[in-house]
Amino acid sequence: MESSLLAVLKSSQIAAGQTPSDLISMVRQLETVTLGAGSTVVTVGDAADAAYLLMSGMLEIRDGDGTLLDTEAPGALVGEQALMPGGSGTRSASIVAATDSTLLRIDTDTFQSLLARNRAALEATSEARTRNRLSKQARPLRALLDRGVQKIWEDGAVLFREGDASDGMHLVMGGQAEVAMTQGGELVHIATVYPGQVFGEIGVLQSVSRTASVVARNHLRTIFVAADEVRSLQAADPDLESFLKSLLRSRELPRLGIVHQNTVVKSGEVCIQTIFSLNDGRELVGLRTPGGHYTLVQTDATTAEIVKIAATNISLDRDGRIVGFDDNGDYEDINGLQILALEGTPLTRQQRRSLKKAAKATADLAPDAIICRCLNVERQVIQASIDQGATTITDIQEATGSGTGCGGCLRKIVPMLSGAPAPRPATPTLRPPRRANGNGLIGWLRGALGS
């Protein structure tokens, strides 16, 4: 092995506790990946199955909207965050080769072996990357990170209990925080808080006692910002309170799972992201922009068919399940579509027929829809002639030629002349979701909280 390559290894985060012979032996077992400039290493939202050690070249870490979060030089370990204990298991950012690059692919098993030997260094690397990402995503978070102090909690430790005084808020740097509250005398799991998210802000902002209990999992590490510090920052920055209020909202969806919301920056806009973590293992992510555009995507699904209803695209998998849609605010019952997507059962034949019928109806109403197929006349041409004074079929025939051939288009032209309102897209009949709630996590929380 070239001495320069060994020098890169020795300067990397995986070198601690490894002898040169250990490093050489490990490298010989790992896959080498060679990429050209502009090639993608991993994509945000993808499932994580490896980390990468950059041997030569340069990498760019980019957010989902393309925002540059960081650059990495040889010796950098990347893609490890999703593999860390408590990680979400999905990529939180995309990694792109800025120049021709060579990487070592570290599979999950090898990474876990490295983690067992060098946990402190790998955790520090992951936390630094989380801090950097948060500070670049939103200005209010930078001030909180600067004022906070690091806290480390072992698995099962109780950070605070429901009813305790609210002494501050936490930004999660690593591990997980399980949030639970008592409802009807029973402990109910409300949310799992992952790296990059926040908890404890409600009691601080509203000056009330803790509304839930929080238990540490997977070696939880947080940046803790005392309540007085938060209030001081609020006084200096009026936007901070509204930002924090929308940063994380968690609710239980009866029979379905857990939903939590946070703010994310996409294309320079602060958007609301809603993550549905369902009991059957599926995850759906919704994103609403300030302009009212809403998308929903099932993270592990493959789209087999897209049904377009006006400006709304509905994605179906090969079994006929709704696995996503995007809407600009015009669909009459977007909640109906979302319920079907969360339910996760294949659409009935009647439901699919309704979708197809609505799609066909709205396609016929598009401005560029062909009304007269004999002469290839679009709807917008006929409408323009009506706007210019045409009031009869004869007027339309003379102005556009429509209806002078087979005459099949006349039944579509007559409603246009009368000014009848366009029919709205139909929404399929819904069925109530049928899901059972598991109690594995609740049992763990009861044990941790001593209840």
Q: What does the alpha-carbon distance between residue 338 and residue 298 come to, in Å, rounded to a whole number? A: 11
- Give the closest residue to 118 by CA, choosing from 195, 17, 202: 17
Q: What does the alpha-carbon distance between residue 293 and residue 353 come to, in Å, rounded to a whole number? A: 26
Note whether 197 and 221 are within 8 A (CB). no
What percent helix, strand, coil does the chain show, rounded to 5? 30, 30, 35
Note whether 295 and 287 are within 8 A (CB). yes
C-alpha dist (Å) from residue 321 to 35, 255, 308: 37, 19, 15
- Structural tokens at position 39: 């090639």
pTM: 0.48
State the DSSP code for 82.
G
Note whether 214 and 178 are within 8 A (CB). yes
Where helices occur in 280-378 by DSSP H, the ranges are: 334-343, 349-364
Q: What does the alpha-carbon distance between residue 19 and residue 22 come to, in Å, rounded to a whole number? A: 5
Q: What does the alpha-carbon distance between residue 237 and residue 436 come to, in Å, rounded to a whole number? A: 44
Tell me the pLDDT of the chain (451 aa) as tens digits.
Answer: 444 555 666 666 666 556 666 666 766 777 889 999 999 999 887 888 898 888 888 999 887 667 777 788 887 888 887 787 766 677 878 899 999 998 889 888 888 877 777 777 777 777 777 777 666 656 667 788 888 999 999 889 999 999 999 999 998 888 888 888 887 777 777 777 877 778 888 788 778 898 889 999 888 989 999 999 988 888 887 667 666 655 555 555 666 777 776 666 677 676 778 888 887 888 899 988 877 788 999 988 999 988 887 678 889 999 888 899 998 866 666 777 788 888 888 887 777 777 777 666 655 566 777 888 777 888 888 888 898 889 998 888 888 888 887 878 888 888 888 876 555 544 444 343 343 344 567 677 777 777 6
Q: Which residues of 110-124 are buried (b: 16+ CB within 10 A; e: fewer)?
A: bbeebbeebeebbbe
Note whether 181 and 267 are within 8 A (CB). no
Question: 350-397 pLDDT, tens per residue?
Answer: 777 777 776 666 555 667 778 887 778 888 888 888 988 899 988 888
CA 174, distance to chain mean position in Å, is 18
Q: What angle do CA 59, 110, 194 make, to 5 degrees?
A: 65
Rg of the chain over all Cα atoms, to the nearest angstrom: 28
Q: What does the alpha-carbon distance between residue 360 and residue 349 come to, in Å, rounded to a whole number? A: 16
**How many CB atoms neighbour CB 352 within 10 A?**
16
**How many CB atoms neighbour CB 2 within 10 A?**
7
- Please name the helix (run of DSSP H) or strand (run of DSSP E) that holds residue 116, with its range, or none: helix 108-117
